[in-house]
Structure 1
Amino acid sequence: MEIVLPGLMIAIAALFRGVTGFGFALLAALGLSSLMAPQDATSIILLIDLVLTGLILRKFDRHMVDWRATAILLGFGLIGGVSGPYVAAMLSDDSARIATNIAIAIAALVAMMHRPPQWMGHVVVGAVLALVVGGMMAGFAVGGPLAAAWLLAGGTEGARVRNTLAIYFGFVDVLGFATRAGAGMLPDGFLGMALPLLAIAVIAYFPGEMIYRKMSMILWRRVCAISLVLIAIVGAMQTILIML
Structure 2
Amino acid sequence: MLMLLAAFAGLVRGYSGFGFAMILALGLLSVRSPADVIPVVLLLDLLCSAGLWPRALRDAHGPLTMRLVAGMGLAVPLGVVMWAWLPGEWLAPLIASLCLIGGVLVLRQPPTLTVLRNTALRAAFWAGLGSGLATTLASAGGPPLMLYLLRCGLSASALRATAILFFAASSGTALAAMGLSGLVGPTHLHLAATLLLPALVGNLLGQWLHARWEVCSLHRLVGALLVGLSAISLWSSQAKP
Structure 2 length as normaliser, TM-score? 0.89
Match of 2:79 among 74, 84, 96: 84
| Residues 1:231 and 2:226 are matched in the alignment | yes
- Partner Cα separation in structure 1 for residue 38 and residue 236 of structure 2: 21
Greater Cα shift, 40-49 or 226-235: 226-235
- Partner Cα separation in structure 1 for residue 131 and residue 222 of structure 2: 20
| Residues 1:173 and 2:158 are matched in the alignment | no
Gaps of 5+ in 2: none
1:14 aligned residue = 10
Gaps of 5+ in 1: none
Q: List aligned pairs for 1:1-244, cutoff 5 A.
A: 5-62=1-58, 64-115=59-110, 122-123=120-121, 125-216=123-214, 219=215, 221-243=216-238
Greater relative contact order, per chain length (Cα 8 Å cut-off, separation 6+): 2
Greater Cα shift, 138-147 or 7-16: 138-147
Paired residue secondary structure (1:41): helix
Q: How far off its partner does 1:104 sit?
A: 0.6
CA contact (8 A) 1:15 1:206 kept: yes
- Partner Cα separation in structure 2 for residue 117 and residue 165 of structure 1: 15
Q: How far off its partner does 1:99 sit?
A: 0.7
Provide runs of 4+ in structure 1 moved above 4 Å: 116-119
- Partner Cα separation in structure 2 for residue 56 and residue 24 of structure 1: 13
- Partner Cα separation in structure 1 for residue 229 and residue 66 of structure 2: 34
Q: How far off its partner does 1:78 sit?
A: 0.4
Listed one character per residue, the Cα deviations across residues 68-108 of structure 1 (whole Å, up to 9, x for unaligned) are 21122011110112221221121222200011011111221
- Partner Cα separation in structure 1 for residue 89 and residue 122 of structure 2: 33
How many residue pairs align between the two structures?
A: 235
- Partner Cα separation in structure 2 for residue 175 and residue 116 of structure 1: 32
Q: Kindly provide the amino acid, as one letter, of the partner of residue 34 in structure 2.
A: P
RMSD: 2.1
Q: How far off its partner does 1:230 sit?
A: 3.5
Identity level (%): 22
Paired residue secondary structure (2:69): helix
CA contact (8 A) 1:116 1:149 kept: no
Q: How far off its partner does 1:159 sit?
A: 1.1
- Partner Cα separation in structure 1 for residue 106 and residue 36 of structure 2: 26
Distance 1:71 1:34, change over 3 A: same
Q: How far off its partner does 1:160 sit?
A: 0.7
Listed one character per residue, the Cα deviations across residues 83-141 of structure 1 (whole Å, up to 9, x for unaligned) are 2122112122220001101111122122233526989x734543322112101112221
Paired residue secondary structure (2:217): helix
Paired residue secondary structure (1:155): coil
Q: How far off its partner does 1:18 sit?
A: 1.0
CA contact (8 A) 2:93 2:234 kept: yes
Structure 1 length as normaliser, TM-score? 0.88
Greater Cα shift, 9-18 or 110-119: 110-119
Listed one character per residue, the Cα deviations across residues 37-65 of structure 1 (whole Å, up to 9, x for unaligned) are 11211111111111122111134553x11
Distance 1:227 1:144, change over 3 A: closer
- Partner Cα separation in structure 2 for residue 16 and residue 101 of structure 1: 18
CA contact (8 A) 1:138 1:175 kept: no
